[in-house]
């Protein structure tokens, strides 16, 4: 009888640990959950109409001639397009913003439009690439806050990009 109780106890303990229900009392997150560096900025609820949150992950993004670590939130809109928010944590966000803008120094047009939302200024970037022999615009909205640069982008309607940027409340 005691072997059955021991085996049942082990089974229950393993089930609890595997399900991720054990919490760390210091930060109240589950043991199996990992926190990403910019997840506090990336909205997951109360999104604009037509947006669906797909997930979040840490990734490396090319900025200028170097790779930068970022947290990326991914969203789908009704039209099936993907829009993303990338958060770059850095001690010098203005320098990173300047480095990002420098990528467009050789453009034969002005890719930058100053805009404002949520009480701060941002820059809308319009970049063109060739797809099936046609020039297709790609849009970004970039701005800095405290110790981060935020970039929202897609090759969809620039109004959708601005709508998602506004949802960050930053």
Q: Could you read off the pLDDT of 134-164 as tens digits, one per residue?
A: 988 999 999 999 999 999 998 878 999 999 9
pLDDT higher than 60, residue 32: no
Q: Give me 53's structure tokens.
A: 């949150």
User: Residue 81 forms beta bridges with which residues?
Assistant: none
Output Rg (C-alpha) for the chain, integer angstroms.
21
Mean pLDDT of 73-90: 94
Handedness of CA 134, 83, 123, 151 (dihedral sign): negative
Mean pLDDT of 51-71: 93
Handedness of CA 162, 56, 92, 67 (dihedral sign): negative
The answer to whether residues 125 and 112 touch, using CB atoms and an 8 Å cutoff, is yes
pLDDT higher than 50, residue 20: no
Q: Could you read off the pLDDT of 120-136 as tens digits, one per residue?
A: 999 999 999 888 999 88
Cβ-count burial of 2 within 10 angstroms (0-12 exposed, 13-18 middle, 19+ buried)? Answer: exposed
The answer to whether residues 138 and 151 touch, using CB atoms and an 8 Å cutoff, is no
Mean pLDDT of 37-55: 89
pLDDT at position 7: 53
pLDDT higher than 60, residue 27: no
């Amino acid at each position: 009888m005691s072997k059955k109780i021991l085996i049942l106890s082990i089974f229950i303990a393993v089930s609890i640990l595997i399900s991720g229900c054990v919490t760390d009392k210091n930060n109240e997150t589950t043991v199996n959950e990992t926190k990403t560096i910019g997840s506090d900025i990336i909205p997951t609820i109360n999104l604009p109409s037509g947006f669906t949150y797909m997930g979040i992950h840490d990734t490396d993004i090319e900025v200028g001639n170097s790779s930068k670590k970022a947290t990326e939130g991914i969203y789908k809109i009704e039209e099936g397009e993907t829009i993303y928010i990338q958060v770059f944590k850095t001690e010098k966000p203005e320098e990173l913003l300047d480095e990002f803008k420098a990528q467009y120094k050789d453009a034969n047009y002005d890719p930058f439009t100053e805009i404002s939302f949520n009480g701060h200024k941002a820059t809308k970037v319009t970049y063109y690439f060739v797809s099936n022999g046609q020039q297709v615009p790609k849009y970004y909205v970039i701005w800095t806050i405290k110790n981060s640069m935020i970039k929202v982008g897609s090759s969809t309607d620039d109004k959708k990009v601005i709508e998602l940027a506004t949802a960050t409340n930053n």
